[in-house]
């Protein structure tokens, strides 16, 4: 870890030494990455650790102060997971374009309306929203009903990027699974 946890509190938290890339360096502001944020309590409205692990995707067994900082940022699971999905899009765009693509460039492509093969203008971001909505389930946690995502970042990415026919099939399947979940009274 490059962060001096016993330091002044103004040092920026850095990614783990073994990570070549860290999505949190892209999405957290310098203020959100200061060591002193680790002393803050995790807000009620925060990114959950399971989501953080999915969008990070590396070094689960190492202590990562960047992940602790991300939990204290005012962000929700949906926003964080979409950023994680865009991280994969960054890598794929880089392979296609045979050059390094930064997060901002990928974000522009992600949100750009275009015909993705279904004969209408849509964006990958819109597709993400459709998939996200169909993957939410009401579950009971400590006696409280909350909404949780059952899909992982990798699953959502595969669905968003699917060919038009496959994408349509995915929407039907997810709709059917949601109805069956409700019929089972799964909460």
Higher pLDDT, 187 or 105: 105
Q: Per mean pLDDT, which range of 4-18, 30-44, 89-103, 143-157 is the poorest?
A: 4-18
Assign 6 a pLDDT band (cuts: 50, 70, 90).
very low
Q: What is the mean pLDDT of residues 89-115?
A: 95
Cα 144 to Cα 54, 122, 173, distances in angstroms: 24, 36, 28
Count Cα atoms within 13 angstroms, Cβ side, for 47: 29
Instruction: Determine the pLDDT at residue 161.
Output: 97
Residue 49, both tokens: 């650790």
Instruction: Determine the pLDDT at residue 120.
Output: 95
143: left (phi over 0), alpha (psi -120 to 50) or beta: left
Q: What is the mean pLDDT of residues 58-66?
A: 73
C-alpha–C-alpha distance, residues 48 and 96, integer Å? 32
Please say if the pLDDT value at position 87 is more than 70. yes
Q: What is the mean pLDDT of residues 119-124?
A: 96
Contact in structure between 124 and 156 (CB atoms under 8 Å): no
Instruction: Determine the pLDDT at residue 186.
Output: 65
Q: Per mean pLDDT, which range of 1-10, 63-72, 148-157 is the poorest?
A: 1-10
Instruction: Determine the pLDDT at residue 59.
Output: 59
* pTM, two decimal places: 0.78
Please say if the pLDDT value at position 141 is more than 80. no
Instruction: Determine the pLDDT at residue 56.
Output: 81
């Amino acid at each position: 870890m490059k962060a001096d946890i016993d330091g002044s509190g103004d040092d920026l938290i850095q990614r783990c030494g073994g990570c070549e890339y860290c999505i949190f360096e892209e999405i957290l502001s310098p203020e959100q990455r200061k060591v002193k944020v680790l002393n803050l309590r995790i807000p009620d409205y925060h990114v959950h650790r399971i989501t953080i692990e999915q969008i990070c995707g590396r070094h689960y067994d190492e202590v990562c102060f960047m992940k602790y900082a991300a939990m204290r940022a005012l962000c929700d699971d949906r926003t964080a997971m979409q950023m994680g999905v865009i991280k994969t899009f960054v890598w794929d765009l880089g392979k296609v374009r045979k050059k390094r693509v930064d997060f901002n460039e990928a974000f522009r492509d992600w949100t750009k309306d275009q015909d993705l093969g279904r004969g209408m203008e849509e964006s990958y971001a819109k597709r993400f929203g459709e998939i996200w909505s169909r993957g939410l389930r009401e579950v009971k946690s400590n006696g409280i009903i909350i909404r949780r995502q059952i899909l992982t970042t990798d699953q959502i990415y595969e669905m968003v990027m699917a060919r038009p026919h496959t994408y349509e099939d995915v929407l039907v399947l997810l709709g059917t699974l949601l109805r069956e979940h409700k019929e089972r009274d799964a909460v």
